[in-house]
Structure 1
Amino acid sequence: MRRETRNDALWKFGSYIFLLTITALVLIPIYWMLVAATIPQSEFFSWPPRLLPGLHYLQNFQALQESVDFIRSIGNSLIIAVSYTALSLVLCSMAGFAFAKYEFRFKEPLFYAILATLVLPIQLLIIPLFLLITQIGWTNSYLAVILPWAANPLGIFLMRQNMKAIPDALLESARMDGATEFQLYYKIALPTMIPSLSALAIILFLNQWQAFLYPLIVLQEEKMFTIPIALAQLVGQQRVNFDQVMVATSLAIIPIFLMFIFLQQYFIKGILSGSVKQ
């Protein structure tokens, strides 16, 4: 008994050391980014490296704003990411509800065809999408970035798997009480999917917030640049403005951090809820 207790204690100690090591490996680069945002570029490669924050954050931010209109880029990214997330949540939840609770012709082939699009690389779709957006006249607009990816295949899959857990008897009893099909969706299905919707919202927001290649193609005017495109403007052929890059990066992670803080209680629950069949 004493030997088992000792082994358990050693196992817990090793686990804690491993977790602390992983946490340090994750947090140290973030801490260095925050410190680097507050020091002049001349101190970036000094030895020993500076470990405490400096007083140049405002100066670095002013230099960043002079190089690119970063405040406008933050606004563009927020408009695109929030609008895309909201629209995609509606479309994915509606499609997931249909695939989970209705029977219609070619249901299974259509669902697998949607899943098959997950294996298509984005580089394969950029040229056709760009030509289509150009013909429609949506170049340099928010719609050009939001609409082509609104019906997210991964989101449809997650919603379908989670909505399968809703008892059919519950829906049938609601129908007997006079509920319409749309009322079944937004009064019964959606309230039970809050954890799954929150988890999907984080995934969708993060994907759109950090999207670079496709927005770079369709957003050609500086006033429409998102944060990743604005960051790319700070990297020149002869010089990299590290101080400005660090300030921009420190500002760019704030919305993601806040979103995860507010929705973290639902994230794991939402991801795993569709993996258990009832």
Structure 2
Amino acid sequence: MSKLSATMLISASVFAATNSEVETFLKNNLSKNPAISSLTVKVIERNPIDGMKGWDSFIVALDAKVKQGKEEREVKQRVIYFANDTVITGELTNMKTGKSLRDSVAPQFKADYYAEANLIYGNANAKHKVAIFSDPLCPFCRSYVPKALEYMKQYPETFAVYYYHFPLERLHPAASTLTRAAVAAELQGRKDVTLALYTVPTTITRETDEQKILDAFNKAVNTNLKVSDLHAAAVNAHVDADNSVIESLMVSGTPTVYFDGEKDATKNRYKGVNVK
């Protein structure tokens, strides 16, 4: 389901449009597409835009069934919109900087996203919480994540490090199998699996054969997993839980880092913490 990018009129109100007005307008507009059915529209977050009186940003959850040829598939999508009392649009750009205001809109990192299953280093009640979303075959991730983890794991009372698997399958087909293998190994009690995951050779990046990918993982991590282990119910549940958080936070690239619940564009706020 394509995202709306054109500017549209919405019913007038004294201030920025209400959640109900935004939901009703979008549902009526999107429902005109004959390929879309069973559409639900829900504003899940809204915030005022700094320096733009009367304008709010809206994070909207769109759930629908979409016809593609003879098939129908379920689509769940979160989209950012901006609205004042008369206009709604998918894009606003700062004329002075040329930057899209979409870049400044991010969903809140909710407390329940810090799941015990994602805590790989530190104590849950540590002074700072760091959440990392990563693909083990992403070049930037491979240069950033191991160093960040090696540093923060030294200070368990300072950093609680939470890791979420985000394989970018279109770019790195082998990443999905690798992350499943890592989850399976962790469930079997292996420690430091995440760090070991980044030692798997990138030569398998484009590989799609699960057994060949698993062989590379077993060799690098010194495990003896079977393909069937990758699809155990507990592994599926962990993967689904990570995907749910990724979707809720609208994470789109790797590595993405949150520091104490706020998106860290620098990815290095942990370095400024006094650990003594």
TM range (shorter): under 0.3
TM-score by length of 1: 0.21
- Higher helix proportion, which one? 1
- Higher strand proportion, which one? 2
**Structure whose CA Rg is larger:** 1
